[in-house]
Amino acid sequence: MKINKDVISKLARLSKLKFNDDESKLISNDLSKMLKFINQLNDLETKDIDPLIHMNEELNNWREDEIDDVLSQAEALTNSPVKDGTYFKLPKVLDKS
């Protein structure tokens, strides 16, 4: 697997990130090194091994679905970058043109 411009632009799209040419080169170089590094895992035979997915030993700690620690609408909006009265305000999502 070689990291080229196409791979970087695909990953950037998936990551919702933008890079200028210099940054692209830098990230491409770094990702190549990182890939080489993680490719070492291929030395190990893992055919019959089950992946370890859950780190906690207990399964499903249930709780009642009760309302507590409620935030008021005003509190919930305090960290919004742009708001309009009681709404989060965002740039338009659909373009008419």
In the complex, which residues of this chain contact another protein (CB under 8 A)? 1, 7-8, 10-12, 14-19, 23, 26-27, 30-31, 33-35, 37-44, 46, 49-58, 60-61, 63, 69, 71, 75-76, 78-82, 88, 90-93, 95
CA angle 29–35–40, rounded 5-degree value = 140
d(Cα 73, Cα 19) in Å, to the nearest integer?
A: 37
Nearer to another protein, 61 or 86 (CB): 61
CB of 85 vs another protein, minimal distance in Å = 15
Residue 16: DSSP 8-state: T
Nearer to another protein, 5 or 35 (CB): 35
Distance of CA 72 to the CA centre of its chain: 28
